[in-house]
Amino acid sequence: MESKDSKTPKDEEKDNEKEKYQIEIIGEQYKEYDFSYKIIVIGNSGVGKSCLSLKSTKGVFEEEFISTIGFEFFSFFLKINNQVIKLQIWDTCGQEVYRSLISNFYRNSSVAILVYAINDRKSFEDIDVWNKQLKNNASPDCKVFLIGNKADLEDERKVNYDEGKKCKENNKFELFMETSAKTGLNAQKVFIDAAKILYEENLKYMSQEEQEAIKGNEQKVYKSISKNIELNNIGEESANNDGCC
């Protein structure tokens, strides 16, 4: 039997993390939610933005390449410590011709998922272009996740893992990971991590009493308190209001 003392500090950190966040992915049957965040998915055409969004939310992989026109909208619901979180995922078109149009969609995004494909050097080099778009159009506190997609295409790799990591560090992005919409590698993790980071950030702005209410699942108390808190980007945005093309 494993002794308690055999745990390394890293193991304990993991255990604490497990305790801290009880995460459950739930379906779209939840009409009500406690927190809602807007997430924008950007990057060159063909890097797999739609596939990644589709795989994470519906578990489906689309082989055929049908380029997005304007944007597509996905929802991802999960529970963190019994709080229902709704992620509004705005999957944008990567084609250059639409680039100026999608600048409208950056507004109120809490997280930007900036995607390149590990087998497409140009898509990695264009990270600077996308980052400039973000700086010009998104709020300064929008967190950027750098994602190297198509990690299953190891034989065709044109961008090393370490280059992605370095790019994240140089640009002070929040997070970097490689994914595969095809195999599912890290596909949901991207969105779960986004929810965790945003949820944690909201907790920072709550008083001890409010946090205790959440821990004890005293929803009534928490909900009445939460009315007085201005939460990050909580307003639901209708696709029609911001639709471009």
Question: What binding mask, one character per residue, do residues 103-142 give for ligand GTP by CB under 6 A, x or -?
Answer: ----------------------------------------
Positions 202 through 241 that interact with ligand GTP (CB under 6 A): none
Positions 43 through 72 that interact with ligand GTP (CB under 6 A): 45-51, 62-63, 65, 67-68
Interface with ligand GTP (CB under 6 A), residue from 153, 221, 229, 244: 153
Are the C-beta atoms of residues 118 and 67 closer than 8 Å to each other? Answer: no
Cβ proximity to ligand GTP: between 45 and 171 the closer is 45
Handedness of CA 28, 31, 34, 36 (dihedral sign): positive
Question: What binding mask, one character per residue, do residues 162-201 give for ligand GTP by CB under 6 A, x or -?
Answer: ------------------xxx-------------------
Interface with ligand GTP (CB under 6 A), residue from 75, 81, 82, 95: 95
Rounded-to-integer distance, Cα 3 and Cα 11, Å: 13
What is the spatial order of strands in the sheet that 83-92 belongs to? 23-26, 71-80, 83-92, 35-42, 111-117, 143-149, 175-178
**Would you state the structure tokens that stand for residue 46, as one six-digit string?**
């063909």
For 118, half-sphere exposure in the C-beta direction (CA atoms, 13 angstrom radius) is 23
**Would you state the structure tokens that stand for residue 103, as one six-digit string?**
């600048």
User: Min. distance of Cβ 46 from ligand GTP in angstroms?
Assistant: 5
Rounded-to-integer distance, Cα 125 and Cα 118, Å: 11
Interface contacts to ligand GTP, rule CB under 6 A: 45-51, 62-63, 65, 67-68, 93-95, 149-150, 152-153, 180-182
